[in-house]
């Protein structure tokens, strides 16, 4: 075209374009540039060996994920690859980077064999104390401390709380413990042991009287009888069977159990008679722990309510035993059959088996508390729930389910109403006086000495 000065190669390609193609072809095929071409195009001449410009051009390549090829790394020139040097021990020699399967590196040195790896050094295990708790060998995770079933109650009592045989209801334990702590704070009690009795549980030998010593962490449950009551004909039938108590009262002469808090007072010991055991005659000497109360239990001393072993001698005759310290002026002592009524009923007192006598008397030797369940408020609440067709637990009350099913509805007879009626009944119905020793017939046996 006119006005245009350009050099062509005869193949419609600019001269500088042809030179570039020749250079690329020479590099790709490994051919060298001719001297004539070098004279015409001196910039095509290869630089001398060892010149800083003697490098191989590495084309840029797109990185393929997972490939070990590292782009933009310049390989050493041919015939100038440095000899591989051994890695100093104990370091590992890095693995040789193999040519990328996607884009080979031009003029990259070819290594005949991978260098040998050094043996892995041995490491000493860290001491267990430096490891995290979960990584310490041979150490099981420590269990969390037991949580109390009742807030504020020591967790060692947890296995004893429940409705099973020998266990104590949570309601009864909390009431008994709260009453004991109240008297401790008031300075009336310094004893760490206390008693509790659940009269809503079945009797007939079931364990429902409890001795708890928190300082020694001891718990003992034994059988105990509830108040038998009586059928006062024409007035009221307040009798109870041996298994479950239905009637409760704080009236004198009612022979019924009164729920609430008591304090132990003095202990009196009395002779009850002789009985035959192990081929000989044995005296029964029984100790009685007097209770004192307050509020609904304030009549405890007037009613002679306390605690003692459930044993008595049922008199049969007068035994001639002048050597006995219990004999009267004529040398006679009452003789009869030993009766153990720990599975039966009482006249309103709490009782325990003879084998527990020593332990319980030792506890009561220092003033402490006795809590008896249920109180009048509990009896009223349960009675209302039963009449409404509700479970006592729905209204926040407690009663043993087995006995509640048997008795139907419990009754509390307040002293203000029952006691006057019983006094009138006693005037109209004179009971026979209690038998004395002189009323008994003579035994046929005469004993010269006694143990």
User: Which positions ≥6 away from 25 have C-beta within 8 Å?
Assistant: 31
Q: 215 and 233 in contact (C-beta within 8 Å)?
A: no
Q: Quote the CA–CA distance of 318 and 316 in Å, as a whole number.
A: 7
> How many of the other CB atoms lie within 10 Å of CB of 309?
22
| 3-state secondary structure at position 18 | helix
Nearest to residue 237, comparing CAs of 221, 249, 222? 249
Counting beta carbons within 10 angstroms of the beta carbon of residue 410, is it exposed (0 to 12), middle (13 to 18) or buried (19 or more)? buried
- The pLDDT value recorded for residue 43 is 45
> How many of the other CB atoms lie within 10 Å of CB of 17?
12
Q: 284 and 274 in contact (C-beta within 8 Å)?
A: yes
Q: Quote the CA–CA distance of 158 and 17 in Å, as a whole number.
A: 98
- Taking only Cα atoms into account, the Rg of the chain, rounded to an integer number of angstroms, comes to 53
Q: Quote the CA–CA distance of 291 and 368 in Å, as a whole number.
A: 10
What is the 3-class SS of 186-242, one letter each residue?
CCCCCCCEEEEEECCCCCCCCEEEEEEECCCCEEEEEECCEECCCEECCCEECCCCC
Per-position DSSP letters for 378-428, written without gaps between them: HHHHHHHHHHTT--GGGGT----HHHHHHHSS-EEE-HHHHHHHHHHHHHH
| 3-state secondary structure at position 12 | coil
Q: How far is CA 285 from CA 262, 271, 288, 449, in A?
A: 25, 5, 10, 18
In which element (H, E) is residue 177 found? helix 170-185
Q: 26 and 34 in contact (C-beta within 8 Å)?
A: no
* Residues with pLDDT less than 50, the chain: 1-33, 37-38, 41, 43-44, 50-61, 63-64, 67-75, 80-81, 90, 92-117, 119-123, 125-126, 131, 134-135, 450-451
Q: 168 and 178 in contact (C-beta within 8 Å)?
A: no
Nearest to residue 177, comparing CAs of 163, 165, 160? 160
Q: Which residues of 130-143 are buried (b: 16+ CB within 10 A; e: fewer)?
A: eeeeeeeeeeeeee
Listed in sequence order, the DSSP H helices in 243-327 are none
Nearest to residue 382, comparing CAs of 402, 367, 400? 400
- The pLDDT value recorded for residue 360 is 98
Record the tokens describing residue 296, joined without a space: 């609904």
| 3-state secondary structure at position 167 | coil
Peptide bond into 374 cis (omega under 30): yes
- The pLDDT value recorded for residue 411 is 97
Q: Which residue has the tokens 């001196």?
A: 42
Q: Quote the CA–CA distance of 99 and 362 in Å, as a whole number.
A: 95
Q: Quote the CA–CA distance of 69 and 80 in Å, as a whole number.
A: 22
Distance from CA of residue 156 to its chain's centroid? 9
Nearest to residue 189, comparing CAs of 140, 240, 262, 253? 262
Q: Which residue has the tokens 């026979």?
A: 432
Q: 305 and 315 in contact (C-beta within 8 Å)?
A: no
Percent with pLDDT over 70 in the chain: 67
Record the tokens describing residue 240, joined without a space: 């109870």
Largest CA distance in the chain: 171
Question: Between β-strands 311-320 and 306-309, what pairing exists: parallel, antiparallel or unpaired?
Answer: unpaired
């Amino acid at each position: 075209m006119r006005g245009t000065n350009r050099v062509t190669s005869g193949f419609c390609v600019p001269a500088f374009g042809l030179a570039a193609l020749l250079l690329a072809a020479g590099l790709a095929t490994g051919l060298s540039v001719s001297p004539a071409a070098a004279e015409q195009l001196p910039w095509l001449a290869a630089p001398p060996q060892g010149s800083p410009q003697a490098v191989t051009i590495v084309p840029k390549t797109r990185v393929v994920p997972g490939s070990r090829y590292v782009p933009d790394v310049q390989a050493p020139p041919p015939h100038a690859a440095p000899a591989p040097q051994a890695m100093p021990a104990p370091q590992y020699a890095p693995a040789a980077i193999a040519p990328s399967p996607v884009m080979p590196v031009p003029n990259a040195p070819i290594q005949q064999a991978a260098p040998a790896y050094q043996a892995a050094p041995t490491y000493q295990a860290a001491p267990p104390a430096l490891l995290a708790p979960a990584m310490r060998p041979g150490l099981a995770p420590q269990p969390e401390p037991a949580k109390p079933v009742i807030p504020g109650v020591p967790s060692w009592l947890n296995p004893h709380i429940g409705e099973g045989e020998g266990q104590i209801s949570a309601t009864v334990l909390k009431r008994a413990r709260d009453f004991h702590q109240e008297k401790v704070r008031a300075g009336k009690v310094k004893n760490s042991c206390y008693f509790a009795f659940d009269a809503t549980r079945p009797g007939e030998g079931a364990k429902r009287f409890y001795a708890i010593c928190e300082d020694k962490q001891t718990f003992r449950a034994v059988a105990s009888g509830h108040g038998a009551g009586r059928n006062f004909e024409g007035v009221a039938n307040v009798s109870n069977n041996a298994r479950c108590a239905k009637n409760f009262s704080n009236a004198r002469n009612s022979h019924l159990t009164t729920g609430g808090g008591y304090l132990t007072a003095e202990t009196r010991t009395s002779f009850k008679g002789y009985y035959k055991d192990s081929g000989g005659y044995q005296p029964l000497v029984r100790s009685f722990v007097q209770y004192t109360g307050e509020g609904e239990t304030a009549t405890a001393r007037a009613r002679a309510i306390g605690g003692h072993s459930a044993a008595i001698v049922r008199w049969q005759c007068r035994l001639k035993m002048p050597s006995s310290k219990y004999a009267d002026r004529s040398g006679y002592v009452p003789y009869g059959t030993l009766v153990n009524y720990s599975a039966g009923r009482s006249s309103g007192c709490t009782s325990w088996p003879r084998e527990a006598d020593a332990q319980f008397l030792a506890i009561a030797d220092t003033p402490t508390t006795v809590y008896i369940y249920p109180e009048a408020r509990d009896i009223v609440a349960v009675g209302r729930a039963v009449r409404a067709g509700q479970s006592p637990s729905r209204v926040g009350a407690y009663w043993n389910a087995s006995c509640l099913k048997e008795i139907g509805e419990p009754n509390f007879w307040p002293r203000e109403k029952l006691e006057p009626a019983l006094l009138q009944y006693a005037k109209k119905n004179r009971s026979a006086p209690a038998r004395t020793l002189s009323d008994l017939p003579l035994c046929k046996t005469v004993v010269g000495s006694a143990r």
